[in-house]
Amino acid sequence: MRYQRACHQGVRLCLRVEMSLIENESNHMPENIEEREAAIERMAKFLDILRGEDDLGIIIRAHIHIEHELTEFIEARLSEPSILKPLRPTYEDKVLLAVGLGFLPEYQAALSNIGKLRNDFAHNLRGTLGKQEANNLRKAMAAEALEIARRSYVATREKLASDRPEGLEQQQPRDEIVLYLVSLWSALATAAIQAKAVK
């Protein structure tokens, strides 16, 4: 599938953003320097937004940003994007539509999990991100994306000589979830950038 490479490249890149290791020679970003810098800036801002939030804010804001990237991808793939707005698709409709338009089906479960988590938090003022939420999202992540995330996390941790836990799953649940959210957002954003370039 055309967008598989873009999705996995986005996963790799988002973890570099998380650890502040974006390198200018990154070959999986847009070739145009301005587009590349804009994409890196958007990813960094997304991570900064999540870092500044409480658990409820992390989920709500991540959901908003992920849904935006879903819409960007869908509109880039549609021959007539203006038909999307009057349809008023739900978040889950957008997940299904994105997969139908070429986004990797193995990301569907994780994207759906984000929608469920957002709904759970929207109806519970005391919602917290704990081990159960981290486990559920980890189980929903695409196997290859999860492995890329793990390897990238370990390599980045070693490169920085960081005192963070050795394994991705050994972090605090909140931090692990943020990495997965950035990973999903980055995969979508990268696929949307590439879909727009093909249009």
**Using an 8 Å Cβ cutoff, are 149 and 168 in contact?**
yes
Tokens found for residue 60: 């709500």
Q: What is the Cα 151 distance to its own chain's centre?
A: 17
pLDDT in tens, 103-150: 999 999 999 999 999 999 888 877 899 999 999 999 999 887 788 777
Which of residues 83 and 48 earns the better pLDDT score?
Answer: 83
Could you give the number of structural domains in the chain?
1
Tell me the whole-structure pTM to 2 decimals: 0.82
Query: What was the pLDDT predicted at 23?
Result: 38
Residue 27, phi then psi, degrees to nearest 5: -90, 5
| Whole-number Å distance between alpha carbons of 150 and 157 | 10
**Using an 8 Å Cβ cutoff, are 194 and 103 in contact?**
no
Query: What was the pLDDT predicted at 31?
Result: 60
Is residue 26 predicted with pLDDT exceeding 50?
no
- Give, in order, the Cα–Cα distances in Å from 19 to each of 29, 51, 158: 17, 13, 11
| Whole-number Å distance between alpha carbons of 48 and 46 | 5
Query: What was the pLDDT predicted at 27?
Result: 38
Average pLDDT in the 17-28 region?
39
Residue 170, phi then psi, degrees to nearest 5: -90, -5
pLDDT in tens, 63-110: 999 999 999 999 999 999 998 889 999 999 999 999 999 999 999 999
Residue 162, phi then psi, degrees to nearest 5: -80, 155
Confidence class for position 58, pLDDT limits 50, 70, 90: very high
| Whole-number Å distance between alpha carbons of 80 and 41 | 29
| Whole-number Å distance between alpha carbons of 88 and 91 | 10
Beta strands in 128-197 (DSSP E): none
Structural domain boundaries enclosing 68: 4-198
